[in-house]
């Protein structure tokens, strides 16, 4: 019983000394001022921003920095104009496969666009009796349709004239 009483008194004295030491050290150090959290103003499109026509707005601030504002599903987004449309830079480990594939896809798309500005350049046509079967590649597979030779649109007539052998027109 005496042992329990001695332990309780010892524990109490340690607790009191610890709290006393904290109050002495805190009294000696200057009080720490907590910085007030500054709430940032909500992002808004400036009144002098110019509508780009694709849902984005271009704004040049007084410092001469050009910004692009876009409405996203998560709210308004602002980015530097020089960063828009630029491929991501290299990682510390080199260029990633997805970045390389994206750059290659854009390059090949630009090259194919330069080769032919005709949207019907990849459309093919084959005669099937009194009708013509047209086909063109798409991202989801080949799209095929048939038209009677008498019901062709102007574009389909151009495609048929292009595809036919020269002596068979």
Order of strands across the sheet that contains 131-138: 124-128, 131-138, 141-148
Q: Where are the domains of the chain?
A: 50-83, 124-168
Instruction: Give me the tens of pLDDT residue by residue for the chain, a chain 169 residues long.
Output: 777 777 778 766 676 665 555 555 555 666 667 776 777 778 889 999 999 888 889 999 999 899 999 988 888 899 888 765 555 555 666 666 666 666 666 566 555 555 566 788 888 899 888 999 999 998 899 999 999 989 999 999 999 998 887 656 5
pLDDT tens-digit profile of 47-94?
999 998 888 899 999 998 999 999 888 888 998 887 655 555 556 666
Q: pTM score, two decimals?
A: 0.33
Find the Cα–Cα–Cα–Cα dihedral 22, 26, 28, 33, rounded to 10°: 170
CA 138 to chain centre: 24
């Amino acid at each position: 019983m005496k042992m329990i009483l001695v332990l309780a008194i010892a524990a109490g004295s340690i607790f009191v000394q610890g709290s006393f030491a904290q109050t002495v050290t805190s009294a000696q150090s200057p009080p720490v001022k907590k910085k007030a959290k500054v709430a940032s103003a909500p992002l808004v499109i400036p009144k002098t921003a110019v509508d780009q026509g694709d849902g984005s707005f271009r704004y040049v601030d007084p410092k001469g920095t050009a910004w692009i504002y876009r409405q996203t599903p998560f709210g308004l987004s602002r980015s530097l104009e020089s960063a828009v449309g630029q491929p991501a830079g290299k990682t510390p480990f080199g260029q990633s496969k997805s970045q390389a594939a994206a750059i290659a896809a854009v390059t090949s798309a630009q090259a194919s666009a330069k080769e032919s500005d005709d949207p019907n350049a990849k459309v093919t046509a084959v005669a099937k009796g009194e009708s013509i079967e047209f086909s063109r590649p798409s991202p989801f597979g080949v799209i095929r349709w048939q038209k009677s030779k008498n019901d062709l649109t102007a574009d389909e007539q151009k495609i048929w004239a292009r595809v036919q052998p020269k002596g068979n027109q």
